[in-house]
Amino acid sequence: MEANNLFAMALQLGSEWKVTRSELSPVDHSLMIWLDFREGHRFPCPECGHPSPAHDTVEKRWRHKNFWQYKTELIARVPRVDFPEHGVRLAEVPWARSGSGFTLMMEAVILMLSQEMPVSQVAEILKEQDTRLWRILEHYVHSLCPEVARARQWLVANGERLQSVDLEEADG
């Protein structure tokens, strides 16, 4: 079986997406995976859900959890849909939250690690900037418990430094 088919299965892309190319670089320990949508697929409008063909496309990138020890990035030609009521909107992709530079799987890894260790250590392990990780954490903490998010903002504004996030406490 071809590597691109294996990556498509591992990513659980569904029928509307395919892996078109992949490059593994042993020099910088990275894996790049290019995705594209299948011709003729209609995408729902993010506003109303009405399906529409692609109007045009934009290239987007997401950091994914590592395959093996290789830093993995997904690169996709993402369609935009055009509706008279809402204008041109970027279609949603099944592997990432709208506006995030990380896949949902990578966000899950970030959340799990951040419950066990300081965010600076998570950033070091993942070879990411801690500010990017804090944006992910703030999104989920705010959605779970707005009071915890406001408390964190107050602590940061008053010079306190947070080490890790306890999402179970935030949820309770």
Q: What residues have CB less than 8 Å from 24, skipping those under 6 apart?
A: 30, 31, 70
Q: What is the pLDDT of residue 64?
A: 97
Say what the pLDDT of residue 159 is. 62
Q: Which residue has the higher pLDDT, 109 or 157?
A: 109
In this prediction, residue 30 carries a pLDDT of 96
Task: Summarize pLDDT for 70-105 with one digit per residue, the tens.
Answer: 999 999 999 999 988 889 999 999 999 999 999 999
The confidence score (pLDDT) of residue 142 equals 76
Confidence of residue 5 (pLDDT cuts 50, 70, 90): very high
Q: Evaluate if pTM is beyond 0.85.
A: no
- DSSP string computed for the chain: --HHHHHHHHHT--TTEEEEEEEEETTTTEEEEEEEEPTT--EE-TTT--EE--SEEEEEEEEEEEETTEEEEEEEEEEEEEETTTEEEEPP-TTB-TT-SBBHHHHHHHHHHHTTS-HHHHHHHHT--HHHHHHHHHHHHHHH-HHHHHHHHHHHHTT-------HHHHH-
- From the list 155, 147, 139, the residue with the least C-alpha distance to 172 is 147
Cα–Cα distance measured from residue 17 to residue 128, given in angstroms and rounded to the nearest whole number: 27
Instruction: Express each pLDDT in 150-164 by its tens digit.
Output: 666 666 666 665 555
Three-class secondary structure assignment of 60-94: EEEEEEEECCEEEEEEEEEEEEEECCCEEEECCCC
User: What is the distance between the alpha carbons of residues 55 and 52, in angstroms, rounded to a whole number?
Assistant: 8
The mean pLDDT value for 29-50 works out to: 93
What is the structure's pLDDT at 169? Answer: 55
Share the mean pLDDT of the chain. 88
Of 165, 107, 114, nearest in space to 141 by CA: 165
Q: Is 80 exceeded by the pLDDT of residue 34?
A: yes
The candidate with the shortest Cα–Cα distance to 152, out of 162, 143, 164, is: 162
pLDDT tier at 66, thresholds 50, 70, 90: very high
- Average pLDDT, integer, range 62-76: 95
pLDDT at 46: 87
| Residue 149 scores a pLDDT above 80 | no
